[in-house]
Structure 1
């Protein structure tokens, strides 16, 4: 089950015309999403898959992060080129090329060239961190929309939000459904222990009035 990747890319551009996504990024997103619709999916079905993805990770947010990364990389390359020129080296050579600096190379030039690996690592860290922050924000937003999980005491709610694995292949929606089930079971258990349980078929266990301190102690995991 999959659609032509180019169809997904075309719909991405149509739905998010202001998102300055690189071809590499478009290919990566399309590779992931093309597997979800049926082979004969029309534009509406493809759009639904794209919008579901956008609910989890903002496509325009990804584009902005990529823009910032490209800007940092351009500044990094400019610093490399300037340093090479000042050291009397060919600025057109790739930065990966091992070069022997002249003996009279200024210390500050050596320092700039010596930190290139560190800059690359920092760029990757910034990029990864921003993606993770975006995922966490989306997970928190979906968690807070749950009518069931809203009842979790504020003192332990962060612990439950942190149980959502933002890097998991399991969707946020499915993970939150699992938390809802677990919460309902804990509340019912607390009700049973406190003899507040309703009669069989007596309604949603999350509606049972129980000792909040008891529930909080059970939830604080």
Structure 2
């Protein structure tokens, strides 16, 4: 997919901190505990695998895998999982979990959406959970094209992210509700993290994402929300393309 090894000076630097610094080992160490207050990692992973209809002989790439919330359950069921994250600290946590379970079918890569080079055969599925918002919109489109190219024809993309559907004039009330609700559910630290996300990260509108996935060639099979201010997309790379 990449024709050269040198990184152009104009390419967006995914290593630069946008919002919460997940390269910080102390942040990575607390990630599961903090996010476990409002997420059920195992249940969510099983739901993703069911939506993608993953089989024992399938291979999967998890881009922005974090501490392995999806990687570990998927590796129990699939032939191989490529775990990709820009944060060495998050990957370290993922590898610790894999060793604890004796899983040897996980290949880790310290890279991002724009820098990961997939040297294996095209995969059956690409998964991205709550990570794409670290990229500005133009670079999201580049990331979608790169994910498309990593998939075999008929392969599926699972995307979950903070994506907005509210009218733009409602942003003040929407963001206040988000922060206050997170404070009530998960405490002040997660409310503070929500503030950082809103202020410093790159969540966007669904109509922007809709256009991106269509333009790179994906067919959107499902689009739904089961979490406030978020959307899930199931997209397929059509056969013959």
Range class of TM-score, shorter chain: under 0.3
Bigger strand fraction: 2
Bigger helix fraction: 1
Q: TM-score, normalised by structure 2?
A: 0.23
* More relative contact order, 1 or 2 (CA 8 Å, 6+ apart): 2
Q: Of the two, which has the highest radius of gyration?
A: 1
Q: TM-score, normalised by structure 1?
A: 0.25
